[in-house]
Structure formats: structure tokens, C-alpha cells
Amino acid sequence: MKKMVALVSLSVLVLFSSLFVNTSNTEAAGNKRLLIAEAKKLIGTPYRYGGTTPRGFDCSGFVYYTHKKIGIILPHSARLMYQKGRTVYKSNLMPGDLVFFNTSKGKSGVSHVAIYIGNNQVIHAVSKEVKIDSLNNPYWKVRYVGAKRL
């Protein structure tokens, strides 16, 4: 009888505590998967300076648009996006993190933004179209500035 009472008490405790489990990590992971799925649908979309629609994107317009699709509003500026979120070390990147680069010759700061999709790859709008690139690509590797997690 004591074992049965203990088992029932334990079951009630587990059930009660499950009501208070923080689901935000699960929701965040789901949102990041949705974000990356939305971004991948746009591969091949042409590059357009100032563009924020599937008719054409610049880098921050692409990030702005994909985040808006999942309910997150960001500024349309890589520099301003870099001021959002929490800094993440390159070794701790997770899918959905924003990755920033300096592509401006002779200037410091941030001028390009991409979405990390895992396996050391990012998706972004570059000179011709939305595409996937490796962070090991020599061009991007030397221009890496940092990353943020929203």
C-alpha cells in the first residue's frame, strides 16, 4: 500500500510539475526551423539594393522579410540589426542566429547580415541572388564580425 501511495504521489508530482515547464526553448527552436524553411524557399530570388520583397532582396531586406514571416520585426539595416539580441561566439552558433560581416572596403563596422542555418553555412542575399554559403569561404571568413541570437 505504501508503494502504491508513493507511486501515485510521484505521478501527481510529475503531472503537476509538467504544467510549469518552460516551453519557450521548444517554441524558439520551432520558430528557428520555420525561419530557415522560409529563407530556403527564397533561394534564387534576385538581389535588389533596398529590396524587401520576393521580387528582390538586399541582405538586410532578406533577413527583415524572413523574420517578419515568423512574427519578428527587425530594422532594415544590418548595422541596426547588429545592435539587437545577445552576442554569440562563432563556436556556439545555432540555426537561426544572425551572422554579421564587414564588406565595406576601408570602413569598420557591420555592412552585411546573413542567417546561420547549421553545418557552418549561412543563407543570405548577395550580389546576384539569395544563396547558401559556407563560413569557411575565404571571402566571408576574413570579413566575419560577429553573431547575435534574438
Q: Is position 6 within any domain? A: no
Strands of 112-118's sheet in order across: 86-88, 144-149, 98-101, 112-118, 121-125, 130-134
Q: Tell me what pLDDT residue 30 has.
A: 73
Is there a catalytic annotation at residue 135?
no
Has residue 58 got a pLDDT over 60? yes
Q: Is position 3 within any domain? A: no
Q: Tell me what pLDDT residue 62 has.
A: 98
Q: Is position 69 within any domain? A: yes
Using CA atoms, how far residue 38 sits from 32, 63, 117, 123, in Å, is 10, 11, 12, 11
Domain count, the chain: 1
Is there a catalytic annotation at residue 134?
no
Q: Is position 100 within any domain? A: yes
Q: Is position 84 within any domain? A: yes
Exposed, middle or buried: residue 92 (CB in 10 Å: 0-12, 13-18, 19+)? exposed
Q: What are the pLDDT digits (tens) for 11-23?
A: 433 333 333 333 3
Q: What is the pTM of this model?
A: 0.81
> 124, 125, 140, 147: which is the annotated catalytic residue?
124
**Mean of pLDDT values over 57-81:** 97
Bigger pLDDT: 122 or 24?
A: 122
The residue segments making up the domain with residue 143 are 45-149
> 36, 63, 111, 112: which is the annotated catalytic residue?
112
Is there a catalytic annotation at residue 76?
no
Query: SS3 of 78, please?
Result: helix
Q: Is position 9 within any domain? A: no
Q: Tell me what pLDDT residue 12 has.
A: 38
> 39, 59, 93, 110: which is the annotated catalytic residue?
59
Q: Is position 24 within any domain? A: no
Beta partners for residue 147, in sequence order:
88, 99
Q: Tell me what pLDDT residue 29 has.
A: 64
Has residue 150 got a pLDDT over 70? yes
Q: What are the pLDDT digits (tens) for 82-137?
A: 999 999 999 999 999 999 999 998 888 999 999 999 999 999 999 999 999 999 99
Q: Is position 120 within any domain? A: yes
- CATH code, domain carrying 136: 3.90.1720.10
